[in-house]
Structure 1
Amino acid sequence: MMAIVALCQCLQPPVTATTCRQCRRIVWARLVMTGRVTMLGLARWAGPGGSDRTVQRFCSTVLPWAMLFGVCFRQHVYCPGEVSLLVGDAVVGTKAGKTTHGLDRFFVSVSGKPVPGLAFCAMSRVRVQARRALPMRVAQVVRSDAAKAASQAKAAAKQPKAPCPPRRPGRPKGSTHTPKVPVTRTPELGRINAMMAALLALR
């Protein structure tokens, strides 16, 4: 527990002492607990000072997570002279129910099909020599109605079409050049671009 207190000291300026104390209890519970991570499970494993209401207060507190990730990286991970990489990854956690924010069907490569759950996209900085990584920005993937419609249209376009009669090889006579249309970024690329721009703005 004392090691967790020492690691969390760098968070003291941006957040209050109460929030930092709650964070220490939740970190302790997260490290020792087993099974699925829930708010009730965190409260049961947090010990004295980590009631269910404490976990609820911490989760409802608005924190500058981008700044906190940057402070932790500069304090505990960053080493001048080493090569670091910025990598990104997305993860899907299965979740039942209908009222959870961002709940949707996302494709999971392990299952090979879309499953109901929550999706998160994370950007991390990796120290190549030390083989250590620290998340710098984490965002929940919440698909808009336009993104859902585009996904459905893309799936419909992949449906097998009726075979067309074969034509002669080569370019048809009378065909002209068509102007290239500007490429629109997919919602995934737009999300990655926004996260990278926010990270570069913190430098």
Structure 2
Amino acid sequence: MTYTVAIVLSLVGYFAIGHWAGRRVKHLDDYLVAGRNAPTFLILGTLVASYLSTSAFLGETGFAYAGYPFVMLLFAAISTSGCLLGALAFGRYLRRSEALTVPEFFGKRFASRRVQRIAGLTTVVGLGAYLLGVMQGAGIMFEELTGLPYWVGLLLVWLTFTGFILYSGSPGVVLTDTVMFVIFSLAAVGGSLYIITAWAAGRG
């Protein structure tokens, strides 16, 4: 029961944050790129939270636990390096172009509506596959912690996040992701201290 209440309250909290952020959106630039003035901490928070989603906490952790920790670490290193190099080598050109989306950037760069459509399709398919994994992880976590059916958790999570994302756009995503980032960080530090303390007590 405690887990159920905590999860429902967290979903309500995320929806409230997204709704508050959505009320501050005035223009398309605000909706798609947060007005191009999001603080560094919020950008860091949304990047880390997007990377450390249920795909990492459940999927990659389970992959390592199944006997493939080094393969998982290799994949994680390649993925992280790709994100870093992409931001450093490609990010400044994207910003200078003043494009609102990555497909729009490619359309301008190659002066081709066809290229823009292909980039848009690639983005939708790629993000769709990623979100399928994330939502599946959320449904599994909801079922394990609350005992309620898998589809109930899946539906609640989908309705909450889809609702405020469609309403608030990037400002809502940036804020809620940063909140998740802070929670992840506190949980990681607290969990590490607990494990270290328990290990030291066992050796004492």
TM-score, normalising length from structure 2? 0.23
Bigger RCO (CA 8 Å, 6+ sep): 2
Normalised TM-score (structure 1): 0.23
Structure (1 or 2) with the greater helix fraction: 2
